[in-house]
Amino acid sequence: MRKILPENASVLSGFICAMVLCVGPLAVGDNSKPNKLCAVNAIFIEQFYKWEQAATIEARLEEELEKRGFRIVNDPAAAEAILTGTVSAQYTLDGDERDLPKAIYTVELKNAGGERIWKAGVKFVRKRTFAEDDEHAARKLADKLAGARKKAARCAGVK
């Protein structure tokens, strides 16, 4: 059976494609506020875990962010932004050997007024140790934040 389309079907499909191309990126966004993110240099990292022995993610993030040009401060009052985060894991109980455990790291960057100016996360198959998970996540998250700041600076006209 042959489907018969109206004469203006090609015009309509062209219009729909143009709408997707023009509106799509605006709807998705990048979870950052460009003119605020590009000004961030000094960051205070809040403790992710509630016990001291497991605080390796903060140390790894500090190292990785400093490599990318951020300054980490020990006092939240001296910071231009505060980085907070959570760490969780995903385990499948009724799966098979392909359902590997996953580590999930989510972070937010807030300005001094508490307004979120950036948010990101990473999810990956767990490594052999928690320290390896933290190291991998810190690299990925630092890359994302540095990339978002660079993009924000371009949008704001800052070099």
- What is the pLDDT averaged over residues 114-127? 95
Local structure of 28: helix, strand or coil? helix
Let me know: does 117 contact 156? Beta carbons within 8 Å: no
What are 19-56's pLDDT values in tens digits? 222 222 222 334 455 568 888 999 999 988 776 656 68
Residue 101 confidence (pLDDT) above 70: yes
List domains and CATH numbers for the chain.
30-154 (3.30.160.670)
- Ramachandran assignment for 7, one of left (phi > 0), alpha (psi -120 to 50 degrees), beta (any other): alpha
Q: Which residue has the higher pLDDT, 131 or 54?
A: 131
Mean pLDDT of the chain: 78
Q: How confident is the model at residue 156 (pLDDT cuts 50, 70, 90)?
A: low
